Amino acid sequence: MNDLPPVAGKYRYPLSLGAIALVFVLLALSAVAFGSSWIAFDQIIGVIFGAGEKTQKVIVLQLRLPRVVMAILAGGGMAVAGFLLQKVTRNSLASPGVLGVIDGAALGVVLFLALLSNESNALVTSIAYQPVAAAIGAFVAIALVFMLSGRQASSAIRLLLFGIAVAAVAKALTVIFMLIGPIYRASQAQRWLAGAVNEVNWGEIQITAIAMLPIMALVLLAARRLPPADLDEVSARAVGLNLPVFRILIFALAAALTALSVAFVGAVGFIGLMAPHLARLLVGRNVYAGIVGSFLLGAIFLVSADMIVRVTFSPLEVPAGTVTAIIGAPYFLFLLMGKQRNDG
């Protein structure tokens, strides 16, 4: 899984983490700066702190900043979820996408919108419950994958196929229920097919951020005990850790993070796979550094994917999820080709 010598990891991670953070900040700023009209960095910072002229304020605060902030939250959330899943399944190919969690969450949201809206396509309940619906869908999906795979879960590649089958069912159901609810007519359906950060608003960001904070805190608390889960069952018991319960907790956290990321952005794939890998490669074995690095890298991925579709295809709204898939799919194949053992 990781061939870096541990000593190098010890001294290296503060530096590389700093570099990643720097790239992250610059990228986030340029994502706000680029667009149909260029806005300089200092002006952006001015606008954020309340200065600037009116048009600039509208462009930055209403049009560009929400997309960037949402992309940071969603990309980061999915990356950390992927990090947790890869750690706890000891499977470097695991990610929220292939384990069916993303499509499960999307199905939860689409069901929520389809069933809880009235004739005039208005929601009869608060939009704040949307992430809850996503979380339920995500939990059900991951629980199904693990219940169905049973003992076969120990085979890295076999587990993925169960996830893919569950994801296929969830995706098909999503298409069916999209036709019932207001989503289809509101033409936001693409979000649920490929994932896009356009059309987000500050209300949705607020909900996501508020819910994500305590979960991230829990993740960091649980992180202290993550390395033993990297061990096999017997050694973990020797260290005094109740592995099954701890595993379920980690799965729940990963599902919740995925659900939050997907709830307003839709099914963006492959970030949860790529970001943790890259993080391990860059910052080494330290768990905290791995989590922070995954978050930042995931955010970088989604922000740049969104920037690419915004700049190249403007004024058309190509979903950012297509870019992550076009980059992520070959990466996944590359990993698969390198993985000779552990086959079902």
Partner 1 sequence: MTVNIKFSGPPLTVPSATRQRPPTPAIYAGLLVALCAVMLVSISVGYRIYGLDQVWQALTAFDGSETAVVIANLRLPRAVIAPLVGAGLGVAGVLVQTLSRNRIASPDTLGLNAGASLGVVIASFWFGVGSMTGLSLAAALGALATSVLVFAIASSAGGLSPIRIVLIGVTFAGLGHSLVEVVLTTNEAQLSQLLFWLSGAFVDRPLALAQTGGPIIAIGGALALLLARPLDALQADDATATGLGVPLFLVRGLSFLAVSLLTGAAVSMAGPVGFIGLVVPHAARWLVGLRHGRLIPAAALIGAIYATLADVIARFVVYPTEAPVGAITAVVGGVVLLVLLKRRAA
Residues whose CB falls within 8 Å of the CB of residue 89, separated by 6 or more in sequence, listed in order: 153, 156, 159
Q: How far is the CB of 234 from partner 1 (least distance, A)?
A: 26
Burial code (b: 16+ CB inside 10 Å, e: under 16) for 276-301 equals bbbbbebbbbbbebbbbbbbbbbbbb
Q: How far is the CB of 217 from partner 1 (least distance, A)?
A: 33
Q: What is the largest CA-CA distance in the chain?
A: 64
The nearer residue to partner 1, 47 or 183, going by C-beta atoms, is 183
Interatomic CA distance for residues 66 and 72, integer angstroms: 10
The nearer residue to partner 1, 54 or 151, going by C-beta atoms, is 151
The nearer residue to partner 1, 63 or 172, going by C-beta atoms, is 172
Enumerate binding residues for partner 1 (CB under 8 A).
148-149, 152, 157-158, 160-162, 164-166, 168-169, 171-173, 175-177, 179-180, 184, 187, 189-190, 193-194, 269, 313, 316-319, 321-322, 325-326, 329-330, 332-333, 336-337, 339-340, 343-344
The nearer residue to partner 1, 256 or 307, going by C-beta atoms, is 307
Structure tokens at 106: 């999307």
Q: How far is the CB of 316 from partner 1 (least distance, A)?
A: 6
CA angle (200, 204, 207) in 5-degree steps: 155
Interatomic CA distance for residues 6 and 144, integer angstroms: 36
As a whole number of Å, the CA-based R_g of the chain is: 20
Q: How far is the CB of 342 from partner 1 (least distance, A)?
A: 11
Q: How far is the CB of 166 from partner 1 (least distance, A)?
A: 7
The nearer residue to partner 1, 5 or 330, going by C-beta atoms, is 330
